[in-house]
Amino acid sequence: MIWWFKARRIVPVLLPCLAGFVVIVALFSGVTVDFPSLLTGGSNDFLIMLLAPVPATSGLLLCLTSRLVESEAARWRPVHHYDALLITATVAFAAAVGCVAGWASGSGDAWSLGRNTGFLTGLMLLVHTAAPQGAVAVPVGWVFTVVFVGFDRFHRPYPWTVLPQPPTEPLSLTTALAVFAVGLIAHATAHPRL
């Protein structure tokens, strides 16, 4: 396990990314900016906190692609189990930070951080199995797709957007859990790709 921990570069890569996640949550809870909507011609209020999962997911993918291919080729090493634990722990950390931030600030949007991080992580892992080089752009791409085409003319998010939905919205939570589970399974069953 020690060689896996060092190979994945968890301390020098993932921990600073998670610290960036915490800073975004702490500084931008409830802060919105106006972005133009490509569908309605108006503008949408965009919560900066929707970007918080991006450093966490990007750092996680960088860790997962940092490999010792020869060492991981041995079937008796449970590399996929360790990776699954790392992925789950990262999303659980995001959920815990969101719960603490939601409780401390009273911001309802902070409670969605775990759901949003899980959804973006699962989406990224799914894309990574098919197109490893482009997977890191998936969370950013999804966020900006939501910003530009994810709201109707009454400024309500469409159901497919997941991220800006209220934390208690059951369809978004179910979708996020399903995408996370499928992404985790896809990552665990895929052959290592660089």
Each residue's pLDDT tens digit, 160-192: 999 999 988 999 999 999 999 999 999 988 865
Helix (H) or strand (E) holding 26: helix 15-28
Q: What is the pLDDT of residues 30-78, one digit of tens each?
A: 888 887 766 666 677 788 889 999 999 999 999 999 877 655 655 656 7
Q: What is the mean pLDDT of the chain?
A: 88
Upper half-sphere CA count for residue 72 (Cβ side, 13 Å): 21
The DSSP output letter for 167 is: T
Task: Please tell me the distance from the alpha carbon of residue 27 to that of residue 110, in angstroms, as a whole number.
Answer: 12
Specify the DSSP element, H or E, that contains 178.
helix 170-189
Chain segment 88-101, per-residue pLDDT in tens: 999 999 999 999 99
Q: What is the pLDDT of residue 193?
A: 47
pLDDT at 144 over 70: yes
Percent of the chain at pLDDT exceeding 70: 89
Torsion of CA 36, 171, 114, 64, to 10 degrees: -90
